[in-house]
Structure 1
Amino acid sequence: MAVKRQKNKTIENKQSDPGDYQVDQQIGFFLRQANQRHVSIFTSLIGDKLTTTQWAALTKLGQIQPCSQNLLGRETAMDVATIKGVVDRLVKRGLIRTEPDLTDARRLVLSLTEDGQAVIEKNLSAAIEVTEKTLEPLTAGERMMLLELIRKIG
Structure 2
Amino acid sequence: MGEALRSRRDRRATASAAPPADLVAAPGYGARRMYQAYLAAWSRHVDDVLTGPQFAVLSAIRAYPDSDQSSLAGAVALDTSTMADVCRRMERRGLIARAESPHDARRKILSLTADGATALDEITRRTRRLDQELLAAVPEEQRGDIAVLLNTLGAHWESVAGRPPIRAAE
Q: Do Structure 1 and Structure 2 share a fold, with TM-score over 0.5? A: yes
4+ residue runs of structure 1 moved beyond 6 angstroms? none
Match of 1:6 in 2: none
Taking structure 1 as the reference length, the TM-score comes to 0.79
| Greater length-normalized contact order (CA 8 Å, ≥ 6 residues apart) | 1
Structure-2 separation of matches of 1:43 and 1:128: 14
Structure-2 separation of matches of 1:147 and 1:114: 30
Task: Kindly indicate which of the two structures has a greater share of residues assigned to helix.
Answer: 1
Q: Percent identity among equivalent residues? A: 25
Q: Counterparts in 2 of 1:70-89, with a 5 A limit?
A: 70-89=70-89
Structure-2 separation of matches of 1:28 and 1:88: 31
SS of match in other structure, 1:35: helix
Whether contact under 8 Å (1:41, 1:133) holds in the other structure is: no
Greater Cα shift, 32-41 or 91-100? 32-41
Q: How many matched pairs? A: 135
Gaps of 5+ in 1: 1-19
Match of 1:42 in 2: 42
Taking structure 2 as the reference length, the TM-score comes to 0.72
Letter in 1 for 2:29: F
Whether contact under 8 Å (1:58, 1:116) holds in the other structure is: yes
Structure-2 separation of matches of 1:38 and 1:132: 13
Structure-1 separation of matches of 2:48 and 2:143: 28
Match of 1:9 in 2: none
Match of 2:129 in 1: 129
The structure that has the greater radius of gyration is: 2
Structure-2 separation of matches of 1:118 and 1:145: 30
Per-residue CA distance 1:94-121 (angstroms, 9 max, x = gap): 1111111111122121111111111112
